[in-house]
Amino acid sequence: MFLLQTSGPFGGSTSLIFMGLIMLVFWLFFIRPQSKKQKLQKLFLENLQKGDKVVTIAGIHGVVNKVNEDGTIQLEINPGSYVKMERSAISMEWTNQLNKPVATTDKK
């Protein structure tokens, strides 16, 4: 017959506390930032409007010409050339990088 024996002054409670701490760290460093990023992405896609310069996840640069009610946008990639694509195909990170103001340094 096998008996489960715990050693130490606190018995098995230290392993439960340790497991709880691991779960807390996992939530703080993985789950919470990912859900925050998803909320920002959703808000970004909902706020797309005509005239916004965007970059798709495929790397196509263009200007939003029309926002459709069915979750798509009409993207103008060249004057007179339009592509209909899903809103979810717009990259928030690349679009923000494209629209970031360029820092100028005056060297004389």
CA atoms 33, 34, 37, 39: torsion sign: negative
**Strand, helix or coil at 29?**
helix
Q: How many CB atoms lie within 10 A of CB 42?
A: 13
Rounded to a whole number of angstroms, the CA Rg of the chain reads 25
Mean pLDDT over all residues of the chain?
A: 85
pLDDT band at 30 (very low <50, low <70, confident <90, very high): confident
Whole-model pTM over 0.85 = no
pLDDT band at 108 (very low <50, low <70, confident <90, very high): low
CA–CA dist 68, 59 (Å, integer):
21
Specify whether domain 49-101 bears CATH 1.10.3470: no
pLDDT at 67: 93
53 vs 63: CA distance, rounded Å? 4
For residue 105, pLDDT over 90 is answered with no
Please report, for the chain, the start and end positions of each structural domain, with discontinuous segments joined by +: 12-47, 49-101
The reported pLDDT for the residue numbered 94 is 87
- Exposure string over 58-94, b if 16+ CB within 10 A, otherwise e: eeeebebbebeeeeebbbbeeeeeeeebebebbbbee
pLDDT over 70 percentage in the chain: 82
pLDDT given for residue 103 in this prediction: 65
